[in-house]
Amino acid sequence: MIRIALAKGRVSDSVLEILKGKGIEFGDEKDDRKLILHEPEGKYELILVKPQDTPTYVEQGVAECGIVGRDIVMEQDSDVYQLFSLEAAKCKLCLAGKPGGRLERYSNIKIATKYTSSAEAFLEQKGVGFELIKLNGSVELAPILGMSDAIIDIVETGNTLRANGLEIWEDICEIQCVFIANKAALKTRHKELSELISCLYEGKV
């Protein structure tokens, strides 16, 4: 049996659909309080975990593999293999702020974000001076209230930005789900993992 750690929320909603399309169904997936889902053939077990914790379950070997947004993997320095992306929970990481703004206008910019590592890498590469303010959610408030000049956050439809009078200044990178695997399990459980990987990988980049 292969245990898959699945990031709960947008990722799990969309990955359960993908798995269903591949003929892998979990009978008890309707009960959203259940944290462990079983597949009738007994080949796979899904554990539904907080997105930020997904790489930890895989790194610790409690789950042989996992599926999580690339934003989470980029922020953490987990010792897992990132094998491929899945067409699920697609979005992008963006620099955003009040309409008409641009990064080039600042020699030192104050940015509010949940994604401090990715923000740091982006701003260093841009060669601009910066100060990061770490927030855990509702980051759109920061530029509105004058606490920051801009934000770095995930954008899917852009509705949240629009509803708060903000706009994208620059796209930083695309974000998809990634399939991650425990390094030891990829050797010791190679046959079973390969079966799952080839089932999910089909035609993916």
In this chain, which stretch among 16-24, 99-107, 123-131, 148-156 interacts with ligand AMP, using CB under 6 A?
A: 148-156
Pick the piece of the chain touching ligand AMP (CB under 6 A) from 74-82, 117-125, 142-150, 155-163: 155-163
Among 4, 16, 103, 155, binds ligand AMP (CB under 6 A): 155
Q: Shortest gap between Cβ of 27 and ligand AMP (angstroms)?
A: 26
The secondary element (H helix, E strand) that includes residue 92 is strand 81-97
Give the count of residues interacting with ligand AMP (CB under 6 A).
Answer: 12
Evaluate whether 111 touches 91 at the Cβ level (below 8 Å).
Answer: no
**What is the identity of the amino acid at 41?**
E
Main-chain dihedrals φ then ψ at residue 156, nearest 5 degrees: -110, -70
CB of 91 to ligand AMP, least distance (A): 4
Sheet of 129-134: strand order equals 36-38, 44-49, 2-7, 65-69, 167-181, 81-97, 150-155, 108-113, 129-134
Nearest to 38 by CA among 48, 50, 28, 30: 28
Q: What length does the chain have? A: 205
Instruction: Using CB under 6 A, pick the residue from 58, 89, 112, 200 that binds ligand AMP.
Output: 89
10 lines the binding site for ligand AMP (CB under 6 A) = yes
- Nearest C-alpha neighbor of 12 from the set 41, 39, 49: 49
User: Given candidates 156, 171, 174, 195, which one binds ligand AMP under the rule CB under 6 A?
Assistant: 156
* Distance in Å, CB of 191 to ligand AMP, minimum: 32
User: What x-and-dash track marks residues 159-178 binding ligand AMP by CB under 6 A?
Assistant: xx------------------
Binding interface with ligand AMP (CB under 6 A): 10, 69, 89, 91, 153-160
